[in-house]
Structure 1
C-alpha cells in the first residue's frame, strides 16, 4: 500500500510539472472568465427586456419563464463544456501513465526496486484520478457558483450532476491507464478519444431513432452507450441541472435535443459504469504483468 501511495504522489508531481497541464489550467481559467462574462451580459440584456415589457421579472422571486430558461440552458451548456474539458484533461494527463515511462526507459529502474507492476499501475491510476477529479470538481464549482452569483439561478440538484460527471472522468482515466499498458502513448490517446466519440455518437443515434421511430438506431445507440457510457452519464447529469420549467420544455420536444436528457439516470447505469471502471483497472494490472519490457 505504501508503494501505491508513493507512486500516486510521484504521479501528482508529474502531472503538475507537465506544461500541457499548466497550459490547460490557464486556458480553463480564461474559459471560466469568458463564459461567466457572457452570462453576465446575457442576464443584463434579459433583465432590461423584462423591465421594459413589465414581464418575467421580480427582484424578490428571481427570473421566470423564457428568461429563466435562457439562463438555465446557459448553465447546462457550461457544464457540458466542463465535462468536455474534464474528459480532455483525463486523457491528456494520463495518456503516458505507463507507456511514457516504458518509452523513456524509466520503467526498468522502477520495477527493479521492490515495487510490483500492479503497484505501479494502481499508483499511477490513483494519482491521475485525484488530479482529474479535483480539476473537474473545482471547475464545476466555479461555473455553477459563478452563474448563481450573477443570475441567482441554482440548479435543482447540482451535487448529483457533478458526481455523475466525476464518475465519467474516473472511467476515462481507467480506460486511458489500460491503453497505456497496451499501446504507445500516441496510439493510446487516439484510441480513447475514438471511444469517447463512440459514446457521443450513441446519443445522436438514439435521438434520431426516437424521432424517426427506428428501433434499430435506438438499439445501436444503446449499445454504443453501454460500451462507452460517458455520454449517457452526461444526459443523466443534465437532468439534475434543469429547472422544472426547462424540463417540461425538453419533455415536450420528445428528446429532440441530444445534448440534454429528460429522464433521471438509472441505478443500473451508475453501477455498470463503476463496475466498468474497476474492471478496466483490473485488466490494466493483468496486461502490464504480461507485458514484455
Structure 2
C-alpha cells in the first residue's frame, strides 16, 4: 500500500507539473463568475418584479423563487458534466500513455508491482477529480447562497453521490487504460457515459409513452453504467419540496432531474463496480505483455 500511495503522490505532482490543476482553477473561476453573474441578474430581476407586484420579499423556498431553484439544479448538472469530462480526460492515458511513450519500462523496473502502480494511479487521479467536483460544486452552492439566500435541502448527500460517480468514472478509465490505447480508451468510456445518460432518456420516454419496454431498457442501461442514476439521486436531494411535487406529478418523466431518491442497492452497486474496475485493472496489467 505504501508503494501505491507513492504512485498516487507522483500522479498528483504530474497533474501539477502539467499545469492541469492551474488550468482547471482558472477555467473553473471563469465558469463560476459567468454563472453566478447570471444568477445575480436573475435574482435582481425577480426581486424587482415582486416589488412591482406589491408582493414584498420573496420566500427562498416559495414559488416566486422557482427560477433560482432550477438555475441551481442546472448549475450542479453542469458541474457533474464537467467533472465527468475531467475524470475521463485527465485519466485516459494513466497507464497506456506511459506505455506508448516508453516511460513504463523504466517505471516497472523499480521495486513497485504493476498492481500497485494501477492502484496508485487510480488513487492519485481520483483525488484530483473528486476534489475538483467537490470544490466547484461547493463554490457554486456557496455563491448562490450568498447572492440569493437559497440553499438546497440536502447538499451534502447530493455531493457525495456526485463524487461517487467521479470515482467510478476514474476507475473505469484506469481499467480501460490497461486494456486499450489512449484514444480507444477515451472513446470507450465516453460511450459508456453516454449509455448511462441514454438510460435516463429512455426511462423518461417510456414513462411518457407508457411503454414498459423502453422503461426496462432504461433501467438496464442505468444498471450497466450507474453514473446517470447517481446524478438523478443527487438532483433529488437538491430539490425543495415544491420541485419534487412537480416532478412526482410528471411521474418521473424528467430525464435530467430525479423525483425519487436513488436506491441503496444502486449506490452499493456503483461502489462495488468502482472496486471491481480497479481490481480488474490491477489484475489485467499484472499479466499484460509490454
Q: TM-score category by the smaller chain?
A: over 0.9
1:79 corresponds in structure 2 to 76
How far has the Cα of 1:64 moved from its partner? Answer: 4.7
Shifted more, 22-31 versus 135-144: the winner is 22-31
Give the corresponding residue for 1:231: 228
Aligned residue among 134, 139, 154 for 1:137: 134
Per-residue deviation, 1:265: 1.4
User: CA separation in 2, counterparts of 1:202 and 1:146?
Assistant: 32
Look up the match of 1:112.
109
**1:180 and 2:177 aligned:** yes
Which residue, 150, 153, 173 being the options, matches 1:153? 150
- Tell me if structure 1 keeps the 8 A contact 2:61–2:240: no
State how far apart, in whole Å, the 1-side matches of 2:62 and 2:126 are: 40
Q: Tell me the residue number matched to 1:67.
A: 64
User: What's the counterpart of residue 261 of structure 1?
Assistant: 258
Measured against aligned partners, the alpha-carbon deviations of 1:184-219 in whole angstroms (never above 9, x if no partner) come to 111111111111000000000000001101000001
Count of equivalent residues = 290
Task: Name the CA distance, whole Å, in 2 between partners of 1:17 and 1:224.
Answer: 38
Task: Pick the aligned partner of 1:280 from 274, 277, 284.
Answer: 277
Cα contact 2:199–2:221 (8 A) shared by 1: yes
Question: Does 1:13 find its partner at 2:13?
Answer: yes
* Corresponding residue of 1:50: 50
Distance 1:21 1:194, change over 3 A: farther
Give 1:247 shift. 1.1
> For the residues of structure 2 that align with 1:49 and 1:126, how far apart are their CA atoms?
50
Q: Residue in 1 aligned with 2:245?
A: 248
Contact 2:61 2:150 in 1 (8 A): no
Shift of residue 20 of structure 1?
Answer: 5.0
TM-score computed with the length of structure 1 as normaliser: 0.96
Q: 1:212, 1:19 → 2: CA distance?
A: 48
Instruction: Provide the rounded CA distance (Å) in 2 between the counterparts of 1:177 and 1:214.
Output: 37
Q: Distance in 1 between matches of 2:17 and 2:129?
A: 15
Q: Which consecutive residues of structure 2, in runs of 5 or more, have no partner in the other structure?
A: none
In 1, the alpha carbon distance for the partners of 2:5 and 2:68 equals 43
CA RMSD across the alignment: 1.2
SS at match of 1:240: helix
Distance 2:23 2:182 in 1: 19
* 8 A contact 2:47–2:57 mirrored in 1: no
TM-score (ref. length: structure 2): 0.97
Q: Does the 8 Å contact 2:39/2:71 carry over to 1?
A: yes
Task: Tell whether 2:34 aligns with 1:37.
Answer: no
- Give how far 1:23 is off: 3.2
Distance of 2:97 and 2:224 partners within structure 1:
26
Deviates more, 1:246-255 or 1:14-23: 14-23
